Structure 1
């Protein structure tokens, strides 16, 4: 693999992890735990972790609140990206983003297609910038979270944060 230019040095990123689900609890939130564990294993901080019901107003309120915290650099959400009437995360995140990173969703769906075939088209995974924070919104499945973290988020997180000038 060819990397266009090397990042200067590793930076510890402060992350918020939010699971959006009407059924998950702290005891059975496998996807949230995967995100947290992968961040910590890669020497990043999990500054905030919560489980939130799939309610548009609550999702928007929490994103607004967390995006104002200096102690958080990025928000990683899982859940609510499908097409059912209860899937509200994509709509909220999409409406808030000031700059979208369309390649994230495109590549995520491409990689997912290789694993789950045509069902990948239903995913509304999205990423972008809001209040100078990077937001990643992932499906709730543990396989999808693992794929996104290992293939997309962790390899590029430092670069994205550096590009925003959040940390140097």
Structure 2
């Protein structure tokens, strides 16, 4: 079967967005953890940015990446909590063509074993916009590691069975094989 049929790994171009009013490149441990993991997995870092938690600045950056046909996935860290400055869901959900409800559900399920019921305060979410998958996770470094290691890595790997996001992205690919 061809690589696009899902049997072979396909390196994706992934952008990483850190949403924070206080982080800089020098202390962005969450964004750096995602960069290290995605490159170790064989993907390419397409771009990386730190944007303050402002609805319109977040939409502008993610819209730019969504419009770039060379970016296949965006992983955002931060701004998913309940404080007044946590605006990532409100900023990005309107950009989605389709929501990926299962992403937040699975992330919280996995996190339950690590942080207990505090996981209910995570508003992790995902969606697809212009054939680009956008996955948004909490700003803690441990949450980013958990999200990548236990959910995102497999879903951005064309060889993961029975299904993954690669066929739905801005690359030529066949649809997922049936689960049977």
Kindly state the Cα deviation for residue 7 of structure 1 after the two structures are TM-superposed: 2.5
Kindly state the Cα deviation for residue 117 of structure 1 after the two structures are TM-superposed: 1.0
Correspondence for 1:160: 165
Correspondence for 2:148: 149
Kindly state the Cα deviation for residue 69 of structure 1 after the two structures are TM-superposed: 0.8
Correspondence for 1:17: 16
RMSD of aligned Cα (Å): 1.3
User: Given the two structures, how large is their TM-score scaled by the length of structure 2?
Assistant: 0.87
Superposed CA deviations along residues 97-126 of structure 1, whole A, max 9, x for unmatched, are 111111110011111111111110010000
- Give 5+ residue unaligned stretches, structure 2: 158-163, 174-180
Superposed CA deviations along residues 131-154 of structure 1, whole A, max 9, x for unmatched, are 110000010001110000001101
- Equivalence map 1:76-155=2 (5 Å): 76-155=75-154
Runs of 4+ in 1 over 3 A off after TM superposition: none
Greater CA drift, 19-28 or 85-94: 85-94
How many pairs align?
Answer: 163
Correspondence for 2:50: 51
User: Given the two structures, how large is their TM-score scaled by the length of structure 1?
Assistant: 0.93
Rounded Cα–Cα distance in structure 1 between residues aligned with 2:24 and 2:169: 33
